[in-house]
Every structure is written in structure tokens, then in C-alpha cells.
């Protein structure tokens, strides 16, 4: 719980800093609003979420622990029609302040940004924490504009009322059912917090 609060505080600081124009000179006129409130279709218990997520894991992969008792199942329509357009714009704003050359602005940083932005949507929507995770995969196939790297890569994973979906956090250009995700066999780790 403390870690989650610290992540939300950090995300809030980034949003405030961006809004106030702290960062590179070219970002001085950019603003980023809080994300839209999460719309859920229901909730799932932590045990049900773990059981469902475990089915996604290949042999020798592992799943991080859950901290809450219940999680919000995300409405697919809200994700596609409201959240993803907001997130794509937020990513573009974030890219104006990130240098894009260091490991401080690569896939794991955008993965954390995606997870925390969805989490903040839950706070804004006053609902249980969303069933959303960060996933470490071995990127053996191209996905959503990210080419074959043959190394670890981070993507987002969300549970919607239509099932599990993978999203590339650096651009959110593609929302793929996990069953069709090209690097599914390369999943190494799933963490919800």
C-alpha cells in the first residue's frame, strides 16, 4: 500500500511539474490534466485475479503479489474511447520533456507511467484499483511499432469485460487480446503494483 501511494505521489509530481512547465524549455507550454475517471464493469477478488493471470504465464514465468482485496474490471469501451486517447496525448507530452536517449525514458519507464496513469484513473473514478499490470516479456517479435529487440521489454496488461489485453506503453497504438499477442510465449513476469 505504501509503495502504491508513493507511486501515485510520484505520478502526481510529474503531472504537476509538466503542468507548471518544469523541464525542458520546449515543454514550458505543455499541460497534462488528470486522467479520466475509470469506468468499470464490476470487480474481481484478488484470488480470482491471480488465478486468471496465472493462466497467462508460460512455464518458468512468475507473478507478483497483489496488495488489495478487490480490483476493478475495466470497461472495454471506456478504455478504447476515453482512456487510450487521453494516454496517447499524455505520452506525447511526456516525450517532450524526456530526452529519449537514456534509460530514464524507455519501455519500463513508460510501462510504469501507463500502470500509474490507469491507477490514477481509478482514484479519480473513485473505484477499486484497476486490474492492470506491467509485464516483462522477451521481445522476439515486433509489436505496436516496437521492433524485434531480442531483449527484455515491458508492456501493459489490462483485464476488461472482454478479457485480457496487451498495450504498448510507449505509444498505445495497438490493443491486442493476450491470446493474439505476438510475444505471449516470452512473458517472464507480471506485476500489478
Domain of residue 76, CATH code: 3.30.460.70
CB contact at 8 A, 44 and 131: yes
pLDDT of 49 over the 90 cut: yes
pLDDT at position 76 is 98
User: Residue 13 domain-assigned?
Assistant: no
pLDDT of 19 over the 90 cut: no
Owning domain of residue 109:
37-191
Is residue 98 very low, low, confident or very high in pLDDT (cuts 50, 70, 90)? confident
Is residue 105 very low, low, confident or very high in pLDDT (cuts 50, 70, 90)? confident
Number of structural domains found in the chain: 1
Predicted TM-score of the model (pTM): 0.82
User: Residue 1 domain-assigned?
Assistant: no
- Other Cβ atoms closer than 10 A to 135: 28
- Other Cβ atoms closer than 10 A to 100: 9
pLDDT of 7 over the 70 cut: no
User: Residue 47 domain-assigned?
Assistant: yes
CA–CA separation, 78 vs 84, rounded Å?
A: 9
pLDDT of 113 over the 70 cut: yes
User: Residue 87 domain-assigned?
Assistant: yes
User: Residue 128 domain-assigned?
Assistant: yes
Helical (H) or strand (E) element with 133: strand 132-138
Three cell numbers written together for 53: 493471470
User: Residue 25 domain-assigned?
Assistant: no
Amino acid at each position: 500500500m505504501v509503495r502504491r501511494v508513493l507511486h501515485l505521489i510520484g505520478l502526481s509530481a510529474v503531472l504537476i511539474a509538466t503542468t507548471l512547465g518544469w523541464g525542458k524549455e520546449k515543454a514550458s507550454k505543455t499541460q497534462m490534466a488528470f486522467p479520466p475517471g475509470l469506468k468499470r464493469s464490476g470487480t474481481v477478488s484478488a484470488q480470482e485475479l491471480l488465478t486468471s493471470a496465472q493462466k497467462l504465464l508460460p512455464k518458468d514465468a512468475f507473478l507478483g503479489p497483489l496488495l488489495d482485496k478487490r480490483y476493478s474490471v475495466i470497461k472495454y469501451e471506456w478504455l478504447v474511447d476515453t482512456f487510450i486517447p487521453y494516454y496517447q496525448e499524455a505520452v506525447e507530452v511526456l516525450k517532450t520533456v524526456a530526452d529519449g536517449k537514456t534509460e530514464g525514458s524507455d519501455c519500463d519507464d513508460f510501462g510504469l507511467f501507463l500502470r500509474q496513469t490507469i491507477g490514477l484513473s481509478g482514484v479519480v473514478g473513485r473505484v477499486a484499483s484497476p486490474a492492470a499490470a506491467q509485464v516483462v516479456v522477451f521481445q522476439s517479435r515486433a509489436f505496436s511499432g516496437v521492433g524485434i529487440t531480442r531483449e527484455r521489454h515491458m508492456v501493459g496488461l489490462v483485464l476488461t469485460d472482454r478479457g485480457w489485453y496487451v498495450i504498448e506503453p510507449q505509444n498505445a497504438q495497438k490493443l491486442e487480446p493476450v491470446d493474439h499477442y505476438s510475444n505471449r510465449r516470452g512473458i517472464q513476469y507480471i506485476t500489478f503494483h
